[in-house]
Amino acid sequence: MFPWSTRFAQLVFCWAILLCMQVSFAHAQASPPKGRDTAIRSWPASPFMTAEQEKKIFDALKAPNAVLQPGERTLAQIVESMNQVVPTRIDLMAITDTGFSDDEAFTITAEDAGTSLASILVRLLGDKYLTFNVRNAMVEITSNEAAESQVGQSSRVYDITPLVDRFESVEADPNEYYPRSGNRQLINCIQTSVYSDCWADTVGGPSTIESYQMGDQYLLVISAPTLVHLSVQSLLDTLNQAIRQAGSPIVGGSFNPAQRALAKRSPPE
């Protein structure tokens, strides 16, 4: 027989182990799985820019500004400074058509020191109806109109497999069973949440979005200006993170046993 104090110590030890397991399980449910990125994979569909080149450009644009010093700077000076960290050029023909030149003055503030280059460009260029595009392996300062006319040169492929609910109900014959892709719901979400005035099939804008399915993989092919792509990527990444934190049964395109059984069902006779 163990003394009472020994039994009590054993009970306390077991209780502490169970409590640690419960806390660890709750933390695992609330956090994305280790080693698995919540970013939705995407690739440039351009013969003139590799995925590696694009990644270097976007990394530079998202990094805190370390090259644009406070003060009045012409557009030509801004581009010269940006070339220290990322290849940049001015589409002179496009900005001239809008009434501007590379001598146009802009104000860099002290607060811009810790802001990303992309955010600074959006603030500075947006006031002048200008923008920037990433194409041909460089950043191009151009007009909104020119960027919209070049969407065919700014296409991306997004792997949305982790976000697709393939067992959503559809508006079809209620007597029949059709597992389906939920990519239409995701497309609607994108078109209403990201630059809603730019989509061709909703408002006649310049940007297009098409779905493509190959086996168990679901893709979106989007042709749009760079700012639209950046916003789409951010939305998809956030959705994926939310789904994983909620413990969705569909992660990375895999089915749980119940869904696999459901997929094998035959239509009712």
CATH number, domain containing residue 65? 3.55.50.10
Residues 144 and 248 in one domain: no
Of 198, 225, 200, residue with least CA distance to 210: 200
pLDDT for 13 equals: 46
Q: What average pLDDT does the structure give for the chain?
A: 80
Whether residues 92 and 171 share a domain: the answer is: no
Q: Are residues 81 and 144 in the same domain?
A: yes
**187-199: per-residue pLDDT in tens?**
999 999 999 999 9
- The top-scoring range by mean pLDDT among 26-30, 86-90, 174-178 is 86-90
Examine the domain organization and report whether 103 and 181 are in the same domain: no
Could you tell me if 243 and 259 lie in one domain? yes
| Residue 87 confidence (pLDDT) | 97
Domain boundary among 94, 122, 149: 149
pLDDT tops 80 at residue 9: no
One domain for residues 114 and 156: no
Residues near 129 by Cβ (< 8 Å), separated by ≥ 6? 98, 143, 144
Final residue belonging to a domain, choices 98, 119, 149: 149
Residue corresponding to tokens 């581009």: 79
208: containing domain: 151-263
Q: Residue 106 domain-assigned?
A: yes
pLDDT of residue 148: 94
Q: Residue 107, class by beta-carbon neighbours within 10 Å (0-12 exposed, 13-18 middle, 19+ buried)? A: exposed
Give the pLDDT mean for 207-219.
91
C-beta of residue 93 within 8 angstroms of C-beta of residue 83: no
Q: Quick check: is 30 in a domain?
A: no
Asked whether the predicted pLDDT for residue 269 surpasses 80, the reply is no
Average pLDDT over residues 34-58: 86
Mean pLDDT of 235-252: 74
Quote the pTM value: 0.73
Residue 20 has pLDDT above 50, yes or no: no
- CA dist 265 → 177, 206, 268 (Å): 8, 42, 9
153 with 224: CB under 8 angstroms?
A: no
Tell whether 108 and 184 lie within a shared domain. Answer: no
Give the pLDDT confidence score for residue 247 in this predicted structure.
65
